[in-house]
């Protein structure tokens, strides 16, 4: 008999910045999946939080929007800002490469 759990195959499905790769096991009865973020990071998440849009990225989106806000307010013009800017651009380039490889 098939187990009572409904198994949805999310492989290759993309939600916002995250693309489902493969099932990564269970945590407290909930199915976890390995998601690849556009920035190149991987995250283990429950599909529900991704499908509902609760989680849109590995966390890079939050970081980026924070740095964009900081730029708008002109609060970080030196040092730290350059670093964030650099990380942001590298992430963006990696995302571009990932997209073209499809
Ligand atoms: Zn990311």
Q: How many structural domains does the chain have?
A: 1
Whether the model pTM is above 0.75: no
Q: Report how far ligand 1's centroid is from the alpha carbon of 36 (Å).
A: 8
- Per the domain annotation, does 9 fall within a domain? no
- Per the domain annotation, does 5 fall within a domain? no
pLDDT value for 35: 97
- Per the domain annotation, does 3 fall within a domain? no
Q: Report how far ligand 1's centroid is from the alpha carbon of 78 (Å).
A: 24
| Boundaries of domain holding 66 | 14-100
pLDDT value for 54: 94
The secondary structure of 4-28, three-state, reads CCCCCCCCCCEECCEEEEEEEEEEC
- Per the domain annotation, does 96 fall within a domain? yes
Q: Report how far ligand 1's centroid is from the alpha carbon of 41 (Å).
A: 5
Residues 6+ apart with CB under 8 A from 45: 18, 32, 33, 35, 55
- Per the domain annotation, does 32 fall within a domain? yes
Residues 6+ apart with CB under 8 A from 54: 48
Each residue of 42-99: pLDDT tens digit?
A: 999 999 999 999 999 999 977 777 776 766 565 555 555 566 667 777 888 888 877 7
Q: Report how far ligand 1's centroid is from the alpha carbon of 28 (Å).
A: 25
Q: Report how far ligand 1's centroid is from the alpha carbon of 72 (Å).
A: 22
- Per the domain annotation, does 77 fall within a domain? yes
């Amino acid at each position: 008999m098939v187990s009572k759990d409904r198994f949805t195959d999310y492989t290759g499905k993309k939600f916002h910045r995250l693309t489902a790769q493969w099932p990564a096991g269970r945590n407290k009865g909930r199915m976890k999946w390995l998601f690849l973020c556009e920035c190149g990071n991987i995250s283990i998440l429950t599909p529900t939080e991704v499908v509902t849009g609760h989680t849109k990225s590995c966390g890079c989106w939050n970081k980026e929007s924070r740095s964009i806000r900081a730029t708008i307010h002109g609060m970080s013009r030196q040092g730290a800002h350059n670093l964030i800017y650099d990380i942001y651009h590298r992430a963006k380039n990696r995302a571009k490469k990932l997209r073209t490889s499809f």
